[in-house]
């Protein structure tokens, strides 16, 4: 029987790459996104046909406790939870509205609470499971003009370490992957000059790609059960 994984924010970027990787490794999938329903269903259909796995596609605002609770009515069992959904805000903190702050923290951090509190009971039934949270290097060192994003990812890291300690006696691993500059739509706001300036600071002299993050995630999934509470960094040697 195939293992089952839930991936949030799976219609594009890192989430889509993770879905493709896990489907190729014979995982049945539950995929969510907020807006791109047509694209998500097209991805689900492709993965089912290409890899002969079961894929469920759901619109879900993971910043809403009620919507996440509703999502889990469709998930009777789960081996892997991947909290990938995330948004950013670029601008001065003093120009940021409370609503914008709440959207970033709700999507990037509160969602981990909502999904984990539903997933953990399913994993406890079998005394095993894996939770992987997608974080960012800005969660450790902070980024100017991205205070909310940095704060949310710092929270992701602390959430990961604390929950790992809580669940370790139950055989459930909790880890995070901290991404550096990855070539996704989230970075489309960068000018060519800004992009080049950032790349100059990266020893590998390039941006990472989403397939590399997916490969790293699968490697973390394959690690021994003694590996938990870790923040694995993929940043081209930037730090």
Active site residue ranges: 149
Report the pLDDT value the prediction gives residue 121, as an integer from 0 to 100: 98
Q: How far apart are CA 80 and CA 100, in angstroms?
A: 30
Q: Which residue, 32, 57, 177, is CA-closest to 115?
A: 32
Report the pLDDT value the prediction gives residue 13, as an integer from 0 to 100: 95
Report the pLDDT value the prediction gives residue 9, as an integer from 0 to 100: 97
Q: How far apart are CA 157 and CA 177, in angstroms?
A: 9
Report the pLDDT value the prediction gives residue 198, as an integer from 0 to 100: 86
In which band, very low, low, confident or very high, does the pLDDT at 155 lie, cut at 50, 70 and 90? very high
Rounded to an integer, the average pLDDT of 81-90 is: 96
Report the pLDDT value the prediction gives residue 166, as an integer from 0 to 100: 98
- Chain center to CA of 182: 13
Pair 171, 225: CB distance under 8 Å: yes
- Chain center to CA of 36: 17
> Edge-to-edge, what's the strand order for the sheet holding 28-33?
55-59, 28-33, 4-7, 80-83, 129-136, 172-179, 231-234
Q: How far apart are CA 28 and CA 22, in angstroms?
A: 8
């Amino acid at each position: 029987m195939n293992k089952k994984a839930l991936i949030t924010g799976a219609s594009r970027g890192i989430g889509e790459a993770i879905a493709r990787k896990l489907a190729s490794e014979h995982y049945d999938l539950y995929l969510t996104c907020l807006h791109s329903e047509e694209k998500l269903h097209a991805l689900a259909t492709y993965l089912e046909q290409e890899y002969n796995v079961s894929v469920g596609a759901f619109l879900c605002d993971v910043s809403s406790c009620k919507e996440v609770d509703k999502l889990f009515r469709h998930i009777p069992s789960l081996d892997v939870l991947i909290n990938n959904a995330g948004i950013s805000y670029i601008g001065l903190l003093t120009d940021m509205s409370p609503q914008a702050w709440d959207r970033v923290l709700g999507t990037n951090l509160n969602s981990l609470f909502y999904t984990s509190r539903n997933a953990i009971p399913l994993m406890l039934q079998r005394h095993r499971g894996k939770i992987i949270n997608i974080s960012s290097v800005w969660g450790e060192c902070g980024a100017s003009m991205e205070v909310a994003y940095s704060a949310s990812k710092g929270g992701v890291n602390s959430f990961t370490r604390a929950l790992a300690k809580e669940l370790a006696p139950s055989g459930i691993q909790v880890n995070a992957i901290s991404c550096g500059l990855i070539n996704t739509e989230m970075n489309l706001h960068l000018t060519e000059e800004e992009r080049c300036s950032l790349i100059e600071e990266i020893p590998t002299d390039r941006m990472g790609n989403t397939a590399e993050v997916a490969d790293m995630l699968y490697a973390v999934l394959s690690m021994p059960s003694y590996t938990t509470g870790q923040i694995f960094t993929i940043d081209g040697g930037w730090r």
